[in-house]
């Protein structure tokens, strides 16, 4: 869905200023500007040369000027955009775009008219009223068009933002559904209740803690179901509760190493990301005394949260669809335009998740 939207934007770079506007609209505007100047310019008298008998030549020049101005301004705007984007430096982008567009427009119009008057051997002094009027009307009209172009850009960004917001909601709902489905599926309930029944007869204190951890797992899922991002510290506390339930079940056959420096706990992560990755590792790998499963969670030098496990796939675990990883990737793509990294070799399966230092401007705690 997101890909199709991006393809649409790529194929239709502007709703107004697309290819048809560049090759049809701009010549029409050139003719329109010329007609305004024509009716606004007094007819020269006397023996001096007049533009009036040369309407066709004037029209050709007007169309050429309009195309040169527009195409040149597009190139200028593209170059400015590489250094100043609308998101991080909107004021500088607007200032430089207006400044350079104006200077370039004046330069093209003035240069073209001076060249035309010289070719037509028309006295410059006689042509000055015409030149001043042409400069004034031409600059005003092209600045208005530039303003419409900027407005069109912001409209497209607003529509894209709205689309991505809806897509992010859908992805979060899918994530919530997957997490809840994993936690309330018959196998999870059966295994948890079976473990709890054993604990009640063997270790009542541990059984009580087991119940508390189950409650904290469900509470976390329900409390954070509408959030786009959450502090890593909260996600780690949740995953510890989840891993406690798994460790009681698997004992020493499952080992998890958590090495996350304290200075990263205030970074942000998409809720339930760790749970999905750990759940996948447990679901698709053999866990036994002969083949213990080892999961490592740490932060690398690129501020990526790394979740890695030794690879020992179950024969009857079913074919993994990869929906969980796709869901995580799409959520990060929508939130911060960053990719997750997946490394899969013969011995280990590793997923790297970008840690987010600050919440994006559009991110809200709740919808």
Least confident of 39-48, 137-146, 178-187, 346-355: 178-187
| Residue pLDDT, tens place only, 5-51 | 444 444 444 444 455 666 676 777 777 777 777 666 655 544 444 44
Task: Average the pLDDT over 123-145 and give the result.
Answer: 75
| Residue pLDDT, tens place only, 41-56 | 655 544 444 444 566 7
What is the number of other CB atoms lying within 10 angstroms of the CB of residue 203? Answer: 13
What would you measure as the largest C-alpha separation in the chain, in angstroms?
Answer: 118
Most confident region among 47-51, 170-174, 353-357, 358-362 by mean pLDDT: 353-357
Q: What is the pLDDT of residue 261?
A: 93
Q: 0.85 cut: is pTM over it?
A: no
Q: Which alpha helices (H) appear in 84-123, and where do they start and end? A: 90-119
Q: Which residues, in sequence order, are bridge partners of residue 181? A: none
**Token couple for 306:** 């790394």
Radius of gyration of the chain (CA): 33
Rounded CA separation 102/327 (Å): 46
Rounded CA separation 310/286 (Å): 10
Task: Average the pLDDT over 50-64 and give the result.
Answer: 67
Task: Average the pLDDT over 202-207 and give the result.
Answer: 78
Rounded CA separation 296/103 (Å): 59
| Residue pLDDT, tens place only, 92-126 | 888 888 888 888 888 888 888 788 777 777 777 77
| Residue pLDDT, tens place only, 320-354 | 546 678 778 877 877 777 889 999 988 999 999 99
- pLDDT at residue 286 is higher than 80: yes
The full set of domain ranges for the chain reads: 2-163, 185-354
Q: What is the pLDDT of residue 300?
A: 94
Please indicate whether residue 119 or residue 181 has the higher confidence score (pLDDT): 119
Q: What is the pLDDT of residue 14?
A: 45
**Is 97 buried (19+), middle (13-18) or exposed (0-12) by CB count in 10 A?**
buried
Confidence of residue 1 (pLDDT cuts 50, 70, 90): very low
- pLDDT at residue 204 is higher than 70: yes
- pLDDT at residue 75 is higher than 50: yes
Q: What is the pLDDT of residue 236?
A: 94
Q: What is the pLDDT of residue 18?
A: 55
- pLDDT at residue 242 is higher than 80: yes
Least confident of 59-73, 90-104, 185-199: 185-199
| Average pLDDT, rounded, for the chain | 76
The correct answer on CATH 3.30.230.10 for the domain covering 185-354 is no
Least confident of 94-103, 132-141, 205-214, 320-329: 320-329
DSSP letter for 265, please: T
- pLDDT at residue 213 is higher than 70: yes
DSSP letter for 42, please: P
Q: What is the pLDDT of residue 112?
A: 82
Rounded CA separation 193/205 (Å): 16
Least confident of 75-79, 228-232, 236-240, 357-361: 357-361
Q: What is the pLDDT of residue 187?
A: 54
Strands 348-354, 293-299: parallel, antiparallel or unpaired by DSSP? Answer: unpaired
Task: Average the pLDDT over 54-74 and give the result.
Answer: 78
Task: Tell me if residue 168 falls in helix, strand or coil.
Answer: helix
**What's the CA angle centered on 349, arms 343 and 351, to 5 degrees?**
60
- pLDDT at residue 181 is higher than 70: no
Please measure the distance between the N-terminal and C-terminal CA atoms of the chain and give it in whole angstroms. 21
Determine the length of the chain. Answer: 367
Q: Which residues contact 54 (CB under 8 A, 6 or more apart)?
A: 120
């Amino acid at each position: 869905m997101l890909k199709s939207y991006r393809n649409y934007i790529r194929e239709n770079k502007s709703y107004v200023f697309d290819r048809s506007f560049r090759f049809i609209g701009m010549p029409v505007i050139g003719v329109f500007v010329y007609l305004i100047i024509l009716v606004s310019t007094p007819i020269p008298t006397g023996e001096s040369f007049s533009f009036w008998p040369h309407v066709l030549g004037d029209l050709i020049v007007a169309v050429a000027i309009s195309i040169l101005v527009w195409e040149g301004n597009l190139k200028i705007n593209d170059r400015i955009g590489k250094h100043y984007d609308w998101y991080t430096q909107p004021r500088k982008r607007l200032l430089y775009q207006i400044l350079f567009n104006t200077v370039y427009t004046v330069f093209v119009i003035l240069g073209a008219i001076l060249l035309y008057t010289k070719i037509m051997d028309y006295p410059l002094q006689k042509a000055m009223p015409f030149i001043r009027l042409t400069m004034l009307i031409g600059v005003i009209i092209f600045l208005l068009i530039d303003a419409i172009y900027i407005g069109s850009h912001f409209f497209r960004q607003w529509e894209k933002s709205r689309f991505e917001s809806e897509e992010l909601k859908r992805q979060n709902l899918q994530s919530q559904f997957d997490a809840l489905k994993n936690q309330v599926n018959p196998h999870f309930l059966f295994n948890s209740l079976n473990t709890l029944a054993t604990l009640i007869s063997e270790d009542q204190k541990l059984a009580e803690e087991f119940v508390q951890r189950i409650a904290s797992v469900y509470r976390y899922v329900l409390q954070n179901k509408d959030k786009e991002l959450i502090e890593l510290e909260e996600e780690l506390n949740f995953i510890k509760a989840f891993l406690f339930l798994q460790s009681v079940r698997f004992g020493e056959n499952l080992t998890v190493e958590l090495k996350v420096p304290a200075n990263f706990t205030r970074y942000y992560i998409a809720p339930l990301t760790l749970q999905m990755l750990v759940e996948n590792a447990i679901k698709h790998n053999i866990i036994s005394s002969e083949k213990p499963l080892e999961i490592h969670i740490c932060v690398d030098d690129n501020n990526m949260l790394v979740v890695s496990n030794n690879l020992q796939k179950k024969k009857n675990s079913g074919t993994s669809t990869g929906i969980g990883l796709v869901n995580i990737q799409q959520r990060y793509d929508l939130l911060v335009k960053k990719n997750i990294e997946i490394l899969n070799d013969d011995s280990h399966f590793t997923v790297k998740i970008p840690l987010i230092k600050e919440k994006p401007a559009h991110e809200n705690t709740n919808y």
